[in-house]
Amino acid sequence: MKIEKYQWKNIRATTLFGLALLFMACNPKTEAQVEKTAETVEAQKPKNFVIIFADDLGYGDLSSFGHPTIRTPHLDQMASEGQKWTNFYVGASVCTPSRAALMTGRLPVRNGMTSNVNRVLFPDSHNGLPQTEVTIAEQMKKAGYTTAAIGKWHLGHKEEYLPTSHGFDSYFGIPYSNDMDNVIPFRSPGGYFSFWKSEERKDINTFNVPLMRNTEIIERPADQHTITKRYTEEAIKFINENKEKPFFLYLAHNLPHVPLFASKEFEGNSPRGLYGDTVEEIDHGVGQVLDALKAAGLDKNTLVVFTSDNGPWLLMNQEGGSAGLLRNGKGSTWEGGMREPTIFWAPGSIKPAIITDIGSTMDLFTTFSNMVGVPIPSDRVMDGVDLDPVLFEEKESARKDMFYYRGDRLFAVRVGEYKAHFITQEPYEQEVTQHETPLLYNLNIDPSEKFDIAAEHPEIIQKIRAVVEQHNAKLVKGPDMLKDRG
């Protein structure tokens, strides 16, 4: 019988396939081997955690996120070696609620850390983050971690609300914003803007903010010229003192929140002016922290996350930052208020990538808790997802939506690439606009939220309304922790 050429090919292919099956049958992967592979993946994951949080840094303020004159070589390198997230959100557009969201993995409306009366906590505020909340630091403590908070806290300055009462072994920092405890009123004479252009604004004595170690005030006013540098030094000291055991470090810079201050080495250097000086000093500090991790042999064993608490303070004109191509800034529920330049770095376990999936600071609670094997609280509604599959397995983010609150009211919702605004308001004005038909934007096509497509897509609005209904069904608002002052 004559065998045609194509038949030989088939016979060869069938034989090879059969041999492969035979080989697999003779060499089955044992359960132990499967487990071992999973174990190896687990073993390679970082064991230490560092969050570096800037204050009022805009989406467009790093060179790797498009700023033409601010030089951030260390953050840029971090972004090129790790994951650069372009759709990463904070839980609110101003300091206190945003920080509460990061710490608790919950929308601040659930624990009362947001308010329609005062948008943030002040030095005369009575309350802070309730003890009934579980913080990310408390989760790490349950896993035996050493924990430190360095920098701005802004979740209550009384002893029962300080970091040392919320899961941190130690605290060093200014407990609220660096423009507080002002000794002359901002609004007079000559109004808000004239103050920010005045000579007094350049004097650290104008802002009588305390610097604390644990629960004691050690310096007042804090020397803000050297504050970024000193926070960095504290961070490095903490890393070196704890290199033998697992640690969680929360390094929350007070800058580039106005008033801007930089140390002598940085002041006057940046082509972007004083704002650029402060960002470049933070960038330098990030480089030093990463170098300290490398020197301690911990760079392959540490996950470092860099982001900011809210968008740029545009009201401050040239002293405020930039949201780049995003609309508006701090205080608003437009993208510029809540989308932040974000980097995840863990050389050896995170492969370099640009991630366009949605993530949030609220996801860090869930992700870190799962990584250290501590259960997520089941007695309350949590708002985080586990980012582990995106970070370590090149899979999709489980987060598909984002809720944009102002105070205790839901202003906008993102579902997939679409965002609907039900209410809009300028960041620092009283007028509120309710939209019977919400404004609708496709954020992939139109990240600047310029082109309202609501009329063309009623079905998408319907879908987003259904998500809002589901969200509202589980919503219990916490008592307002920010309203009582004086």
Tell me the C-alpha distance between 117 and 421, whole Å: 22
In the complex, minimum distance from the CB of residue 338 to Mg ion, in angstroms, rounded to a whole number: 11
Are the C-beta atoms of 309 and 56 separated by less than 8 Å? Answer: yes
Q: Among all chains, which residue has been given the structure tokens 């397995």?
A: 393
Tell me the C-alpha distance between 121 and 358, whole Å: 29
Catalytic residue positions? 95, 154
61 part of the interface to Mg ion, by CB under 5 A = no
Sole binder of Mg ion in the list 54, 56, 75, 362 (CB under 5 A):
56
Tokens of 394: 């090149």
Task: Give the range of 51-59, 65-73, 286-294, 475-483 binding Mg ion by CB under 5 A.
Answer: 51-59
Phi, psi of 255 (to 5 degrees): -105, 165
120 part of the interface to Mg ion, by CB under 5 A = no
Task: Give the range of 39-47, 307-315, 331-339, 351-359 binding Mg ion by CB under 5 A.
Answer: 307-315
Burial class from Cβ neighbours inside 10 Å (0-12, 13-18, 19+) for residue 187 reads exposed
Tokens of 399: 């987060």
Q: Which residues contact 325 (CB under 8 A, 6 or more apart)?
A: 59, 60, 66, 447, 448
Amino acid at 51: I
Tokens of 431: 């007028």
319 part of the interface to Mg ion, by CB under 5 A = no
Are the C-beta atoms of 112 and 479 separated by less than 8 Å? Answer: yes
Nearest-CB residue for Mg ion? 95
Task: Give the range of 27-35, 91-99, 199-207, 468-476 binding Mg ion by CB under 5 A.
Answer: 91-99
In the complex, minimum distance from the CB of residue 96 to Mg ion, in angstroms, rounded to a whole number: 9
In the complex, minimum distance from the CB of residue 281 to Mg ion, in angstroms, rounded to a whole number: 17
In the complex, minimum distance from the CB of residue 154 to Mg ion, in angstroms, rounded to a whole number: 8
DSSP label of 349: T
**Count of C-beta atoms within a 10 Å radius of residue 433:** 11
Task: Give the range of 76-84, 308-316, 317-325, 381-389 binding Mg ion by CB under 5 A.
Answer: 308-316
Phi, psi of 207 (to 5 degrees): -115, 100
Sole binder of Mg ion in the list 179, 283, 299, 309 (CB under 5 A):
309
364 part of the interface to Mg ion, by CB under 5 A = no
Sole binder of Mg ion in the list 49, 51, 53, 55 (CB under 5 A):
55
Sole binder of Mg ion in the list 54, 95, 137, 413 (CB under 5 A):
95
- In order of 29, 44, 192, 370, the CA distances from 34 in angstroms are 7, 16, 64, 21
Closer Cβ to Mg ion, 56 or 299, answer by number: 56
366 part of the interface to Mg ion, by CB under 5 A = no
254 part of the interface to Mg ion, by CB under 5 A = no
340 part of the interface to Mg ion, by CB under 5 A = no
Bridge partners, residue 360, by sequence: 89
- Applying CB under 5 A, the site for Mg ion has a residue count of 5
In the complex, minimum distance from the CB of residue 249 to Mg ion, in angstroms, rounded to a whole number: 20
Interaction site with Mg ion (CB under 5 A):
55-56, 95, 309-310
